[in-house]
Amino acid sequence: MKVIFTEEAPKAIGPYSQAIRAGNLLYCSGQTPLDPVTMKVEVADIEAQTHRVIENLRLILKEADLTLNNVIKVNVFLIDMELFAQMNAIYTECFGNHKPARTTVAVKGLPLNALVEIECIAEFNR
C-alpha cells in the first residue's frame, strides 16, 4: 500500500489520504470543489463546482502518473438530484468518450456545503 499526496490538490480536511495505491488500483478519496490554495469552496454553481471537483481528481491522478482515462469506477454524490443534468453535462465534457462505471446518489449534505463530491478508482496499466 502506498499513500499518494500532491500539494496541487486540496489537502485532506480530515483523517484520510488523498489517494491510496493498493496493487494495481488507485483509490481516490472523495473530492469536493475546494480550491487547493484557499481551501474554500470558491464557486457557487453546480457546473463550476463539478469542474473544480474533477480537476482536483485529475491532479491526484497525475501525481500517480495516471489520467482520467485510467478511471474504472466513479461515485458521484449530489445534494439534490435536480442538479444531475448540469453535473452530467460537465462530467461528460471532462471524461469525453471514456465512460467508467458510475453510481450517482443524492445525499442530505456534503462538507463545506458543497453541491457535489466525486470519488474514483483508477487502474494502473499492466
Distance of alpha carbon 53 from alpha carbon 110, whole angstroms: 13
What pLDDT is recorded for position 97?
97
Distance of alpha carbon 108 from alpha carbon 113, whole angstroms: 10
Tell me: the pLDDT tens digits for 41-78? 999 999 999 999 999 999 999 999 999 999 999 999 99
Distance of alpha carbon 116 from alpha carbon 107, whole angstroms: 9
What pLDDT is recorded for position 125?
87
Distance of alpha carbon 54 from alpha carbon 57, whole angstroms: 5
| Average of per-residue pLDDT across 74-93 | 98
What is the DSSP pairing of strand 19-22 with strand 25-31?
A: antiparallel
What amino acid is encoded at 74 in this protein?
V
| Average of per-residue pLDDT across 26-48 | 97
pTM of full prediction above 0.95: yes
Q: Domain containing 12: what range? A: 2-123
Domain harbouring 86, CATH code: 3.30.1330.40
106 phi, psi to nearest 5 deg:
-90, 140
- Do 103 and 74 contact (CB within 8 A), yes or no? yes
What pLDDT is recorded for position 43?
95
Distance of alpha carbon 124 from alpha carbon 22, whole angstroms: 10
Residue 126: is its pLDDT beyond 70? no
| Average of per-residue pLDDT across 109-118 | 97
Q: What's the total number of domains in the chain?
A: 1
